[in-house]
């Protein structure tokens, strides 16, 4: 075996010994840290009942933890949410540590906020859960309001479908496409002399050129034809 091979083996043994030493040291330290963190953490439970101003139960509404402005210790609990049941009862559960004792949080329901201060000693004396009932300052939404909103939405949808359908039918014909672009067809009037249909703005010219009628008389005849058309439409 060469000197180089001997040096390589010695180096490898040294590295293996170093990793084995670190393994013996690091694993116990990590285990101690893990169990110490788990030992300090505990479950914080808030039970209660949410009611409206008229004492009726707040049914199936979210209760969420929020924080006061500038309260940084509370931020890790933000967004923790539970929901009331049919009777307005709720249970809010989250984990806390010893350093969280005394942290103020807000219980937010339907836009209203209710303060709560984390109290670990009181939690322990109460057997692991605290009770905080919530009474809103607002009254429940009238039962018919949701139905009315649904009717309005349905009416809007029906109207939108009708307008879209009417527009589609209009665009399916050349005349409809012209009308959609702003072009309106000329009103047609019946010539009092030959009974053919002539565009309203062309009737006077038609009477003068095709029937050799004086301009003043042609104007009167065209006016009578227009009045007769309007009366029939009314």
pLDDT digits (tens, 9 = 90+) for 73-128: 999 999 999 999 999 999 999 999 999 999 999 999 999 999 999 999 999 999 99
C-alpha span between 80 and 91 (Å, rounded): 11
Residue 25 lies in a domain: no
> Of 208 and 65, which is predicted with more confidence?
65
Q: What is the pTM of this model?
A: 0.49
Residue 129 lies in a domain: yes
**Statement to judge: residues 120 and 152 lie in one domain:** no
Query: How many other β-carbons are positioned within 10 Å of the β-carbon of residue 89?
Result: 14
* Number of domain units in the chain: 3
Q: Which two tokens stand for residue 211?
A: 């029937």
Residue 20 lies in a domain: no
Residue 88 lies in a domain: yes
**Statement to judge: residues 46 and 130 lie in one domain:** yes
C-alpha span between 11 and 215 (Å, rounded): 122
**Statement to judge: residues 165 and 228 lie in one domain:** no
The domain containing residue 93 runs over which residues?
Answer: 41-135
Residue 96: partners with Cβ closer than 8 Å, 6 or more residues away: 41, 42, 43, 44, 118, 120
- Domain CATH for 82: 2.60.40.1120
């Amino acid at each position: 075996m060469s000197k180089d091979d001997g040096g390589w083996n010695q180096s490898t043994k040294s590295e293996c010994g170093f990793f084995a030493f670190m393994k013996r040291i690091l694993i116990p330290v990590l285990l101690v840290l893990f169990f110490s963190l788990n030992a300090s953490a505990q479950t914080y439970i808030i039970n209660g009942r949410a009611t409206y101003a008229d004492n009726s139960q707040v049914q199936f509404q979210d209760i969420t933890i929020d924080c006061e402005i500038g309260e940084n210790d509370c931020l890790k609990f933000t967004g923790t949410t539970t929901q009331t049941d049919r009777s307005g009862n709720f249970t809010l559960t989250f984990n806390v540590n010893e350093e969280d004792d005394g942290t103020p949080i807000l219980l937010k329901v339907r836009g209203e906020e209710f303060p709560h201060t984390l109290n670990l000693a009181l939690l322990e004396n109460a057997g692991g859960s605290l009770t905080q009932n919530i009474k809103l300052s607002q009254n429940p939404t009238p039962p018919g309001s949701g139905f009315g909103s649904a009717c309005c939405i349905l009416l809007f949808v029906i109207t939108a479908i009708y307008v879209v359908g009417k527009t589609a039918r209009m665009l399916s014909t050349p005349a409809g496409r012209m009308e959609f672009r702003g072009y309106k067809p000329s009103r047609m009037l019946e010539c009092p002399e030959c009974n053919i249909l002539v565009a309203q703005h062309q009737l006077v010219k038609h009477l003068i050129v095709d029937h050799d009628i004086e301009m003043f008389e042609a104007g009167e005849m065209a006016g009578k034809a227009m009045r007769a058309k309007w009366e029939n439409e009314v």
